[in-house]
Amino acid sequence: MSTFDISAVNERITQESAFVDDLLTEIGKVVVGQRYMIERLLIGLLGDGHVLLEGVPGLAKTLTVSSLAAAIGTKFQRIQFTPDLLPADLLGTLVFNPKEGSFSIKKGPIFSNIILADEINRSPAKVQSALLESMQERQVTIGETTFPLEAPFLVLATQNPIEQEGTYPLPEAQVDRFMMKIKVDYPTRDEELEIMRRMARTGEKQVVKPVVTPEQILSARAVLNALYIDERVEKYIVDLVMASREPETIGLSALKPLIEYGASPRATINLNLAARAHAFLQHRAYITPEDVRSIAMDVLRHRVAVTYEAEAEEISSEDIVQRILDTVEVP
């Protein structure tokens, strides 16, 4: 790429990414801290990838997602997943009109831009598979009619890691559909103090105003394709994913019996997309190995399945991914 090309793309990235800081500031009016979670949600939004949030209750997961939707002025729906939820409750259904003797279509809450699937692992397999078509195909079928979903369309699902009673663990095929799995942690001491001062009031509530339009988000997505990624960085992404399947090729033979199966090709695609979005958030027109490393854990942690042997030794998929990140040579 010539100097002229890079400077032209740089200028375009600067213009297109100007909204990022406004968006972070607006969400920050309501959400204290959780910068890591907010940035990952933006990466999912820009990279057109769904995000799975895991964390104990009360960490502002729902508040952050609803604030993001309000700040970009899109339609938002929160769906509480329960064991008695039916696919029709999610997608919609055919309603019979006895006067006219005909059926009409009543669309469900999935017909929004941002969907918060709260405690997704509480719903049975039929509901999860119904959501799967929407996530993967960006369309919904009711009766014999198929409706495309309006862009941007993003599913942000939460699951509680503590309670396992009455839950249906997500199938590996569905977990793989999520671009990233984010572990949401507790706030720091200073953040906790600020949360208390801001939230321990009755009747007062900060309102998030739209500072970005959906059109700007779609325009920013198109710009991601123009970001420069060096061939060495591309090969680094492939090396990381291949190492999760064949760890012995990078001298980690000890990991082989601990990995049931490695990351799928979706991991390679999503690492590239998420790295591009990460660079965009930094107002950069090129992708560095550090962009890849910063989001690698989020993209890979749910795609590397561990064996019973690893579980017996209390070795998690995160431990394995970290070993791979520490071993694969950085270009």
Q: Quote the pLDDT of residue 197.
A: 76
Q: Quick one: tokens of 191?
A: 């953040």
Q: Quote the pLDDT of residue 5.
A: 65
Same domain, 82 and 43: yes
Give the gyration radius of the chain's Cα atoms.
21
Q: Quote the pLDDT of residue 298.
A: 93
The residue type found at 230 is D
Rounded CA separation 135/132 (Å): 5
| Domain final residue pick, 164, 189, 219 | 219
Residue spans of the chain under pLDDT 70:
1-6, 162-168, 201-204
Q: Quote the pLDDT of residue 1.
A: 45
- Per the structure, how many domains does the chain have? 2
Instruction: Collect all residues with Cβ–Cβ distance below 8 Å to 201 and sequence separation of at least 6.
Output: none
Q: Which residues pair with 148 in a beta bridge?
A: 139
CATH classification of the domain holding 255: 1.10.8.80
Domain that holds residue 168: 21-201+210-219
Instruction: Collect all residues with Cβ–Cβ distance below 8 Å to 239 and sequence separation of at least 6.
Output: 250, 328, 329
Same domain, 190 and 109: yes
Q: For the beta carbon of residue 311, count every other beta carbon within 10 angstroms.
A: 11
Q: pLDDT of 72-82, one tens digit each?
A: 888 888 888 88
Q: Is 224 helix (H, G, I), strand (E, B) or coil?
A: helix
Q: Quote the pLDDT of residue 292.
A: 93
Q: pLDDT of 104-130, one tens digit each?
A: 888 888 888 888 988 888 887 788 878
Q: pLDDT of 8-32, one tens digit each?
A: 777 778 777 778 888 888 887 777 7
Q: Quote the pLDDT of residue 166.
A: 56
Same domain, 194 and 275: no
Largest CA distance in the chain: 73
At 282, give phi and psi (nearest 5°). Answer: -90, 10
Q: Quote the pLDDT of residue 3.
A: 45
Q: pLDDT of 267-290, one tens digit each?
A: 999 999 999 999 988 888 889 999
Same domain, 251 and 174: no
Across 75-89, b (16+ Cβ under 10 Å) vs e yields: ebbbbebeeebebeb
Tokens 């006219």 correspond to what residue?
100
Q: Quote the pLDDT of residue 4.
A: 40
| Domain final residue pick, 192, 219, 246 | 219
Q: Quote the pLDDT of residue 237.
A: 94
Same domain, 137 and 256: no
* The dihedral sign for the CA sequence 301, 231, 255, 264: positive
Instruction: Collect all residues with Cβ–Cβ distance below 8 Å to 322 and sequence separation of at least 6.
Output: 297
